[in-house]
Amino acid sequence: DGGGGAVARARYVRTEAYLRDRRGLPEGSAGAERNVGVRALWWANKLFALSDGCKPYMVDPLSLGTQKKSELGGLLRNPEDGFDAWARPDAEAGRLSQAFLEPGLPFIGGAAVAVRDFDDGFRSPGVAASVPLAKGETCVAWAATRARVAAVIRGADGLTAVVARKGGGDKPEFAVPLLLPADDDARLEVAAIADDGAATVLDVIVAGGPAPADGPEATRCWGELWRVRLEAGGAALGR
């Protein structure tokens, strides 16, 4: 406000699900307050409300009024196209990274977590890096730097951190066990990532138990913060 203060404003994103749920429901009821938008993204001088598997909604950055669904410059042309709610912007590098699942083939496998980098026009040259998934494995967290992608994989033997170099094909640079204090249903989120020579350093939030149905913890991890230094020889943990 010019005097050293701050002004906060909050509004619901008027998604199709939100408007449908509000019709005829009491103010403040669980159904009336449901909203599919889980994350705001400021990119290319525009504000987007993102939700996994859905087209983003454009939001006016001043009034926070909902404007329209966006095809992201023609990237999402088909009705069923969606965008990752946890796409990670790097304004300094002019890059927006998005992860998606390549499902592989039935009975053969070949599933992988692939990452693409987009410019401010949502143009991408293709897959920048790929982390393969064995049968029964899931990716629970990921992040990218200019040169690498790091993914945390949950499998039968616990957590594994996999680092792949961008432009390095579908073979990871290295994979090491990750001995974080995380239960089988714990949630993880990579809050920050940086390259430090041959190592990749992650700040990982570990939250216990499944996500609640509503509230801040429904979409973001609130828990212990760990610093993880990943190198080919192993993972070093710190607080």
pLDDT tens string 120-133: 899 999 999 999 99
List the structure tokens of 183. Answer: 């239960």
Q: What is the pLDDT of residues 169-225, one digit of tens each?
A: 778 999 999 999 888 788 898 999 999 988 999 999 998 877 666 666 666 778 899
Could you give the CA distance from residue 142 to residue 58 in angstroms, rounded to a whole number?
25
Does residue 37 surpass a pLDDT of 80?
no
Say what the pLDDT of residue 218 is: 64
Q: What's the pLDDT score for residue 216?
A: 60
Mean of the pLDDT values across residues 112-124?
A: 92
Token code pair at residue 40: 């705001």
Query: Which residue, chain included where needed, has tokens 């393969």?
Result: 132
Query: What single-letter DSSP state applies at residue 19?
Result: H
The alpha carbons of the chain give a radius of gyration, in whole angstroms, of: 19
Distance between CA atoms of 152 and 119, rounded to whole angstroms?
A: 25
Q: What is the pLDDT of residue 12?
A: 82
92 or 152: which leads in pLDDT:
152
pLDDT at 34: 46
Given a cut of 60, whether residue 35 has pLDDT beyond it is no
pLDDT of residue 82: 79
pTM confidence score:
0.80
pLDDT higher at 221 or 117: 117
- Residue 162: per-residue pLDDT: 96
Average pLDDT value over all residues in the chain: 84
Residue 181 CB partners (closer than 8 Å, separation 6+): 206, 224
